[in-house]
Structure 1
Amino acid sequence: MAGNPFIQAKQAADQYNLLISLFWTILCLGPAGWYFYLYMPPAWLWIMVPVALLPFLVPAPWLEHYARRSFYERIGVRGLLTYVQHGKWVNARVRKRYPGYRIVYNRETIRQKIRETYLFERFHYGLLLVLLIMAVHAGIGLWGILLMVCNIGYNVYPIFMQQYVRLRLKEAVS
C-alpha cells in the first residue's frame, strides 16, 4: 500500500526539520546547558523559568514592530531562511521526492503560519531572556561572550526571521 503522498511528504519534512532543529539546538544551547551545569546552582531555575514564560503573556499587537523587508534582508535573515526549520534546504529535499509539497497553499494556511510566527517569536524571546540572565551571571569573559553569541544565533536572528516571514505572509494576504 503506497499511502497518502501528502502525509508521506509531511513526515519527510518533519524528519528534515528535526535534524535542523537538533543541529541548531546542540550548536547554540549546548554551551548554555554546559555552563548552567558547571556554574549555576539549580535554584536559578526558579528565576529563569518564569522569566522565559513572560513573553507568552505579551499580546500579539505588541509584537507588531516590523522594519522594512530590506532591513531584514540586509542583516542576512533571508539567507538564513535556507538553513532553518521549514527553510529552503528542507523544502528542496522534500519537493525533490514530492513535487507538490507546500507549507502554505491557501488563505487559511497563511493565517495559520502567521499565528505560528507569534508563538515562535515568543518562544525565542523567552530563551533570549534566559540566555541573557546566564550571560550576565557569566560576566565579561569567554563564557559571557560565548553565551551572547549563542543568544544572537539562536534567538535574535530567529526573532527577526519570524517578523520577516510574518511580514511577507501578511503582504500575501493583503
Structure 2
Amino acid sequence: MEPARRQKSATVKQTVTIYNQLINFFWTILAFAPIGYFCYVALPVNWLYTFLAISLLVFFLPPSFFRAIQLSNTTAIYQRLGLRTVRKYTQNGILVNHLIRRREAAYNTVRTLSVKSHLSKASANERFHTVVFVFFLLTTVYALIYSYWIWAIVFTISNLVYNVYPILLQQYNRIRFRRLADRQLGAKKTSLD
C-alpha cells in the first residue's frame, strides 16, 4: 500500500474510533449516571456486590444460551421492533458510516473487518449488554421492593434503551453477518466449480 493511501486509511480509522467512542460515551453516561447515583446513595454495598456477582455469572453462560434467547432466525421481527432505526445511533451504525463516507466515499465497515470478526464482536457485545441488563434488572427490582418508584421507571427505560435494544441489535447483526458469510461461501463455491 502506498504511503499516502496508508496515511488516509489510518486517518479514517482514527475518525471512526473517535465517532464510535463519542456515541459510546453518550449512551453510557445516559444509562449509568442515574443507576450509579442510586447505587451510591440508596443501595447497600452488600446488595451492590451481590448484584454485580450475579450479573457477572451471566458472562460465563455458553453460546447455546444466547442462541436459545434469540427472538428469531430472520430479520423481519427485528425490523418490526425498530432495529433499523436503532442502528442509526450506535457504534459503527448508519450515522457513523454516513459521516465517514462524507470524507471517504469508499469506506465500508463490513469490508474493514472479516465476517468472522463481526460475528465475534456481536457475540461479545451481546454478552456485555446481557450482564449489564441483569445488573439493571436486579437494581430495578430492589428499587421496586423499597418503593423507589421513579427510580424503577428510570432504570427500566435505561435498561430498555441501553441493554435490551443493543442485545436485539446484536442478534439482528448476527443474522445479517451469517447471511453475508453464506453468500460469500456460495460465491467461492461457484467460482471453484
TM-score bucket (shorter structure): over 0.9
Residue correspondence of structure 1 range 65-144 to structure 2 within 5 A: 65-67=70-72, 68-105=74-111, 109-139=114-144, 141-144=149-152
State the distance in 2 between where 1:41 and 1:6 align: 49
Which of 35, 41, 46 is the matching residue for 1:43?
Answer: 46
Structure 1 unmatched runs, 5+: none
State the distance in 1 between where 2:55 and 2:122 align: 17
- What residue number does 2:161 align with? 153
Kept in 2: contact 1:21–1:85 (CA 8 A): yes
Runs (4+) of structure 1 exceeding 6 A deviation are none
> Shift of residue 77 of structure 1?
0.8
Identical counterparts, % of pairs: 32
Kept in 2: contact 1:13–1:94 (CA 8 A): yes
1:42-65 CA-partner distances (Å, limit 9, x unpaired): 232321222222222122232122
> Shift of residue 31 of structure 1?
1.0
State the distance in 2 between where 1:7 and 1:103 align: 14
**1:54 matches 2:49:** no
TM-score (norm 2): 0.83
Aligned length, in residue pairs: 173
Tell which structure's C-alpha radius of gyration is larger: 2
Kept in 1: contact 2:141–2:152 (CA 8 A): yes
- What residue number does 1:5 align with? 8
Kept in 1: contact 2:39–2:48 (CA 8 A): no
1:102-155 CA-partner distances (Å, limit 9, x unpaired): 22118x711101011111001000000000111011115111111111111110
User: Quick check: 24-33 or 150-159, which moved more?
Assistant: 24-33
C-alpha RMSD over aligned residues: 1.7
Kept in 2: contact 1:72–1:160 (CA 8 A): yes
State the distance in 2 between where 1:73 and 1:145 align: 26
TM-score (norm 1): 0.92
Q: Which structure is higher in RCO with an 8 Å CA cutoff and minimum separation 6?
A: 1
> Shift of residue 66 of structure 1?
4.2
State the distance in 1 between where 2:56 and 2:39 align: 19
Name the amino acid aligned to 2:180.
A
State the distance in 2 between where 1:43 and 1:10 align: 43
